[in-house]
Amino acid sequence: MEIGVLDIQGDVAEHISILENLGARARKVRRTSDLVGLSGIVVPGGESTVIGSIMEQRGISNKIIELNLPVMGTCAGLILMSKSVEGKPGLIPILDIEVKRNGYGSQRESFETDLEIKGIGKFRGVFIRAPLVTRVRGGEVLASFEKSAVMISDGKNLGLSFHPEIYGNGKIHNYFISRL
């Protein structure tokens, strides 16, 4: 199985090494031709406006939709996957949720906390200027923090408002690839 990691911004190398440690092959995705033959793609965190505009310019977002490629989006990746980002659809609107960018506010721009994740157990989540999920209309909430969903799955797609790659624990990546 080969998994793509969108190589525009973020912890690309960390995602690749976690996937490889789990026994998957991993490929950096920079253009649409890199998507051919993949079983899924990880969209790392970063700045969603920057990642989104480059993806759009290069036709990567449309190709992901056309191929129906399962996405694991983290932080900025979750924003891009949301059907409503402060009223406007994200670029790959495959999760039926509403998010507010930087929604945890300036007091808590970045923080980490122990999450309890359905089917996975305890996981140390790192939130960096994270989006706040303000509404979930579809899919399954796998973890919440202070009453807001922070991890949602829908079919093979998985969205996280936190960064799962920081502590190098592969449980969340494993959850994604084991369902592909």
Catalytic residues: 75, 163, 165
Q: How far is the CB of 47 from ligand GLN (least distance, A)?
A: 5
**Residue 72: closest CA among 43, 94, 48, 30:** 43
Q: Which residues lie across from 5 on neighbouring strands?
A: 28, 42
Are 72 and 42 spatial neighbours (Cβ–Cβ below 8 Å)?
Answer: yes
Are 42 and 6 spatial neighbours (Cβ–Cβ below 8 Å)?
Answer: yes
Choose one: 41-49, 60-68, 141-149, 164-172; the region binding ligand GLN (CB under 6 A): 41-49
Q: How far is the CB of 65 from ligand GLN (least distance, A)?
A: 20
Q: How far is the CB of 84 from ligand GLN (least distance, A)?
A: 14
Residue 12 binding ligand GLN, by CB under 6 A = no
Residue 132 binding ligand GLN, by CB under 6 A = no
Q: Based on CB atoms, which residue is closest to ligand GLN, 2 or 128?
A: 128
Residues that bind ligand GLN (CB under 6 A): 45-48, 75-76, 79, 101-102, 128-129
